[in-house]
Each structure stands twice: as C-alpha cells, then as structure tokens.
Amino acid sequence: MSVEAITITMVIITFGIYTGIGWWSRVRDTSGFYVAGQNVPTVANGAAIAADWMSAASFISMAGLVAFLGFDGTIYLMGWTGGYVLLALLLAPYLRKFGKFTVPDFIGDRFYSSHARAVAAIATIFISLTYISGQMRGVGIVFSRYLQVDIIVGVLIGMAIVGFFALLGGMKGVTWTQAIQYFVIIIAFIIPAVAISLQLTGNPVPQLALTTSDIVDRLGQIQVDLGMTEYMAPFTDLSMLNVFMITLALMAGTAGLPHVIVRFYTVKSVRAARWSAVWAILFIALLYLTAPAVGAFAKYNLIQTIADKPLEEVQEIGWVNKWETTGLLQFDDKNDDGVINFSEGEGNEVAIDGDIIVLSTPEVANLAPFIIALVAAGGLAAALSTASGLLITMTSAVSHDIYYRIFNKQATERQRLRVGRITLLVALLIAAYVGVKPPGFAGEVVALAFGLGAASLFPVILLGIFDKRMNKEGAIAGILTGLIFTLVIIALILSESIFGTDGPILENFLGINAQGIGVVGMLLNFIVSFVVSRNTEAPPLHIQQLIEKVRAPEMDEDNEVAASEED
C-alpha cells in the first residue's frame, strides 16, 4: 500500500473510534454539553486536558518553530509549560470552588454584573476564534498532503469533521474523545522521534541524543556554511525584549484561556481538579521535552536532503513532489544555476511552510510508511481535540452566558442547545476562513490568542480571586481596555496579512511584536482595574465574604460554594 492509502486507512480507523466514543457519550442536556456532567475521572480528565493543550500548534507547529528559530524558538516551550503550572497552582482550584460552567459565569457572578459577564463572553469569543484558526490550518495541511488536494479543500474537509464531533457529544463527548486522542498524539510524536534519534545519533532517547551527541554542533556548522545564522545563537530572529515579552504573554495567556480553565469544571471536586492538573502536566511533559529534539533533527535532515542539490534531482524525490503539490513547499531557482540555494535572505531559493516540518520529517528520514501515517493521524488528533474544545467554549459563551444568562433566562434546554449549535457552525466558518489565510505559522497564530487571553481575562480572574476590593466597574473597564488595545495593535502590526495592505501599518509597538503585545495589554488591564475599583463603590459584603471562603485553605470538596447570581 502507498503512504497515502495507509494514512487514509489509519485516519478512518481512528475517526471511527472517535465517532463511537462521541455517540456513546452523546448528551441531551446543557450540563453534559458544557461541563460533561462534572463526573469525569481524574486521570481521564488529565489526558483530555493534555490533548486539549497539545493542539496543532504543539504537535505540528512547535517543532517547526524550534527548527526555524533555533534558540529563539524555545520561548514557546518555556511560555506554554510555565503558564500551565501557573494556571494549575494559582487559579484552577479556586475557580473550581465556584462550581460554575464557564469563565464568563465566574466573572459575571464574582462581579455581580451581567455587563461583566457579557464583556467576558465577548473576550472568550475573540480568544477562541483566534486559537481555533490555527487548528483549522493544521487540519487543512494534513488533509491537503495526504488527499493531494489544495489547502483550501483540506481546511473545508477539516471544518466538516471538527463540527461533526463537537455537535455530536458536546463537552462530554469531546472530553472522552480527547482522552483517547492524547494517546494517539503522544505515540505519533514519540515513535518517529525515537526512530530518527537512533538513525542520526545511535541513541534511542531523543532528549539525551540532543544534549549528549554532537548533532546540534553539526547543524550549527552546516547552517553557518550555508550562510545562515548559527542554530543556537540567541536573539537572531527575536530581540531579547521580544523573547521576554512573548514568553510572559504565553504564560499569562495560558492562565486566561477559557477552554483550558473549563476543563477543571468537568471533575467532581476541587481535589480532583488539582490531581487532574498533576496528571496533565505529566502527560504534557512527554511531548514538550521531545519537541526540541524533533525540531533539531528535522532541520538537520531537511538541509542534508535539499541544500546544494540539483533542483531536478530533488524534485523527483517522492515526498518533495507531493508537498510541492500542496503549495506549502516551493522552489525558485533565482540564479538559474539548477542548484538549490537553501539559505536566508534574498538569495534563498526554498520556501517552506514551517507547519509541514513535523509532518514531513518521517518521509525525509525515510521511515516506514506506517510511521508516516501515524504522524498524520497524530496531527489530526491534536488539531481536532483542541478545535472541538474551543468550539464548545465559544458556544457556551454565546448560548449560556449571553443568550440564557442575559437575554432569555426562561430559555429551555432545547432552545439553549439550539443556539449553541448555531453558534458552533458560524464559528466554524470564520475559523475556516482564517485557517486558509493565516497571519503566520499555526503556532504564531495561536500565540496571538494567548496574548488576548493575557490582556483580557487573566488579570480580572487573578484580581477576582485575590483582591476583595475588586469590583464590577474595575473588571469591565480592565477587560475592555486590555482586549481593545491588544486587538488594535495586533491588527495594525499584521495588517498586511489580515487586511492585504501594502506592508504593515505599524512595524511594532515600542519594539514589541504582535505575539508579545499582550503583555502591554495585560499591564494596562491591571492598572485600569485597580484604579477604577479603588475609585468606585466597594463590592457588596456577601461577595467579599464569598471570596474569603473560596480562598480558605481548609475548604474541601464537601464545602464548595457558588457565587451569588445577583446582577
């Protein structure tokens, strides 16, 4: 069988399993649709959190970013892992004590205001739409390669499949599907990493091979010889300021991502939420500690395969020809010498979409067709798991937090589910459009969502838990300030790819790029929230007492509290 046939077979088998799980766990009420009935076992929830977290950005794009950015690419590893620890230790247990469905639910009840709930729901929609666009891009790339279709067709196929799984089972179905998808993801990532590590260094442990062999030194020397920057040279693609700002934006943004936070509402208790976090960190570490090795190995193999080789000879290689068909790998013999110049700057004759690095690596390394197919199935599982969770988060923000809690408090279960499913379809169409025309790698697009999370929700959640004096006026003003500022600056910096302008309207903001600007929005949010809350009326006494109870260390799962639902 051909690689494509094996891949399609494996995808059909895994999708059949996902569909069976979704059908088995299908829901007919809003509790199951939004928070899986709050009865998911701890280990399963930890695996689901890890799968939700290890999106297309982690599986497909992160190793590609490390491969192309070298040292500077490690900001994504530091930011995303550090942020998860911050979320798990600082916010998740306290949020679970409120016992609510969503982040806007918490903000609306903590700040005793339907307006605060609506603003938080709007922020959730912006964050989730940006995040899911990267996932649609990842799904589209997999389908475009292995079905040999244009990227647009690949994204449309992915859109249909993502929508099917999210509509079928709601959060309950998504959670159990993600628990299975985690193991598909991690197996698909680890097996080729071990095979390539053994092939290049003789060491089957990728992490040890990266640190104890001379592979990085060899890669660095090859890049220098080709006229590129040395692989491990710091601050070559990103300034020191941007390295710091992007890392901080990713960390704080992690703690403000609604689709991650809602995972801690799907378990039975506060204790279960903590243990879910522990399991998730262990599961996530398996991939994140392997990604740097995969990035370095992939870049080494890629350069060795195509750099300074005759163009005609390279284009006859099977995997090169097939990736060229997708438009994600292109050659331009600028000097007409018939030899590929793989370098940096104007002389470079190779255009490689960074999101194909992980997917193409097994083919570049001539691994078995089964492993190539396994990686494709893993990439789809990563993108589908996160996209499904994001869709549920967006639909809950619209149907539960806006439609039900603000506009129609008498809405029936059927009406709320109908609004949620309509919202899901609209969100899919928008995400598919951005997935076809993304403003960067999948990982870079996802980083924008983290910046929005850091600038809008993280400060208000943190202050809502640890500052009794924080009131509804401060929360609303802070979210709006951080969200609007960050959205406007991102749009100006990325105007060329978003709006088709002739060059960016704004090169950067005080030296900070689009991925790091969320930190400035976050600081503005903190300042505005604090100042406004100190110059307006204090929260009601019962809200202040509620915060004290939620923060009490002796509180256990038998004494969980729910915030007042007063406006």
Distance (Å) of CA 242 to CA 5, 130, 229, 257, 365: 44, 21, 18, 21, 34
Cα 88 to Cα 31: distance, rounded to the nearest angstrom? 23
Continuous segment of H or E residues that includes residue 532: helix 518-534
For residues 516-541, give the mean pLDDT: 96
Q: pLDDT digit string (tens) for 283-306?
A: 888 888 899 999 999 999 999 988
Q: Minimal CA–CA distance to 88: which of 378, 242, 283, 243?
A: 283
pLDDT score of 562: 44
Q: Say if residues 485 and 455 touch (Cβ distance below 8 Å).
A: yes
Cα 451 to Cα 458: distance, rounded to the nearest angstrom? 10
Tell me the one-letter amino acid at 387. Answer: A
Residue with tokens 């990103």: 238
Angle at 263 between CA 407 and CA 54, to 5 degrees: 120
For residues 504-523, give the mean pLDDT: 94
How many Cα atoms within 13 Å fall on the side-chain side of residue 222?
19
Cα 386 to Cα 396: distance, rounded to the nearest angstrom? 15
Considering only 27-41, 321-335, 370-384, 504-518, which range has the smallest mean pLDDT? Answer: 27-41
Sign of the CA dihedral running 467, 473, 478, 479 = positive
Distance (Å) of CA 420 to CA 106, 161, 402, 403, 435: 19, 17, 11, 9, 22
Cα 354 to Cα 61: distance, rounded to the nearest angstrom? 7
Centre a 10 Å sphere on the Cβ of residue 510 and count the other Cβ atoms it contains.
8
Cα 456 to Cα 113: distance, rounded to the nearest angstrom? 17
What is the band of 485 on the pLDDT scale with cuts at 50, 70, 90?
very high
Q: What structural domains does the chain harbor?
A: 3-22+39-438 (1.20.1730.10)
Cα radius of gyration rounded to whole Å, the chain: 23
The helix/strand/coil state of 331 is strand
Residue with tokens 């438009």: 327
Continuous segment of H or E residues that includes residue 507: none
Q: pLDDT digit string (tens) for 205-239?
A: 999 999 999 999 999 999 998 888 888 889 988 99
* Phi, psi angles (nearest 5°) of residue 468: -65, -25
Tell me the percentage of the chain whose pLDDT exceeds 70. 89
Q: pLDDT digit string (tens) for 41-51?
A: 788 878 877 87
How far is Cα of residue 52 from the mean position of the Cα atoms in its chain? 8
Cα 2 to Cα 145: distance, rounded to the nearest angstrom? 13
pLDDT score of 384: 74
What is the band of 18 on the pLDDT scale with cuts at 50, 70, 90?
confident
For residues 365-384, give the mean pLDDT: 84
The 8-class DSSP code of residue 537 comes to P
Tell me the percentage of the chain whose pLDDT exceeds 90. 27
Residue with tokens 């000879």: 313
